[in-house]
Amino acid sequence: MNEGESDEALVIAVNSITAVNTIEHMRCAVHTLQLAIRDGLKEKHVHTLLSKLRQTSVMARTPKKDAILKRRTGKGAIIDQATRWGSTHLMIQRLLEIKNSLIDMANPDITLTDLQWRQTHQLEELLREPYLVPKRLQAQDLTPGSSYKEWKNLIYKLSQSSSIIADAIKAFMLRREKCLLDNPVLLAAIYVDPMYRVTLSEEQLIRGKAALRDIAVRMHRGSRATQFEDQSICASGPLRNSSDSGSECEIDFEKHLEIEAKHRRTEKENAAKCYVIITI
């Protein structure tokens, strides 16, 4: 085989593999949620408040003030980081924990008004659940259905809050949810979960069922292709044309399910007949 023929054979092999094993892009639900929260916090009013809280945290971390705080409370201020999930909530939570010491220090650089403290309390309560959900989404026994349930549950809780910030986070979550469910594998996984299938809309149910059928067909084709390759390795004769094997891998999934259902019914009927004969 010359160089040109080997290159052509390589291309054919790659194309045959990718035709069976399509690579699906799966978005990270936790990262997608963090992006939605970040977008929601860009609302003008909350952005101004967060800037003030961030500035207060920076000033509270200067050596002298940090030493006083740690001596009095055993804790220091925290500065949030854009690349660290939940760090904004942790910064706000820590400021509330050391609030009394900050007030006692009476330093204008770390002083908030009563209104700003009330708004900080409200913001911490609002961000508490969005902070906890990503932790639950990292559980080892998490399933696609339960992860989508957590997502929808957070949207529901945000809907119960009469807050501009909650509405903004909810709106961005709904917008990014469409991107999450663009993945047919994820949609099929939620569809087969009887506990959380109810979270899908009618249109999503139809797409999930179609995606499940497509996955089953691809798995069947993949298994047939693997069997064919094994047989080809053992055979002494020449390989058959790849187009012929491709046509043989085609399957009518609905017909396959019908045959499988008939086979199972036959087995049940035979088992019932055997039981009757033994009983008699």
Q: Are 98 and 69 in contact (CB under 8 A)?
A: yes
pTM across the whole model: 0.67
**From the DSSP assignment, how many helices (H) and strands (E) are in the chain?**
13, 0
The continuous run of DSSP H or E covering 66 comes out as helix 63-73
Structure tokens at 4: 């040109």
Burial class (CB in 10 A: 0-12, 13-18, 19+), 117: middle
Condensed to tens digits (0 to 9), the pLDDT of residues 85-102 reads: 889 999 999 999 999 999
The CA angle 45-91-131, to the nearest 5 degrees, is: 85
Q: How far apart are CA 158 and CA 187, in angstroms?
A: 24
Region for residue 106 given its phi and psi (left: phi exceeds 0; alpha: psi -120 to 50; beta: otherwise): left
Ordered DSSP codes for 32-56: HHHHHHHHHTTSHHHHHHHHHHHHH
Residue 68: its pLDDT value, please?
A: 93
Structure tokens at 202: 């009618």
Residue 239: its pLDDT value, please?
A: 39
User: What DSSP state is assigned to residue 48?
Assistant: H
Residue 21: its pLDDT value, please?
A: 56
The residues of the chain scoring below 70 in pLDDT are 1-24, 222-258, 260-261, 264, 274-280
Q: How far apart are CA 120 and CA 196, in angstroms?
A: 35
Q: What is the mean pLDDT of the chain?
A: 80
Contacts of 246 (CB under 8 A, 6+ apart): 16, 19
Contacts of 16 (CB under 8 A, 6+ apart): 225, 242, 246
Contacts of 271 (CB under 8 A, 6+ apart): none
Residue 245: its pLDDT value, please?
A: 41
Q: How far apart are CA 67 and CA 84, in angstroms?
A: 25
Structure tokens at 231: 């047989």
Domain ranges of the chain: 29-182
Burial class (CB in 10 A: 0-12, 13-18, 19+), 210: middle
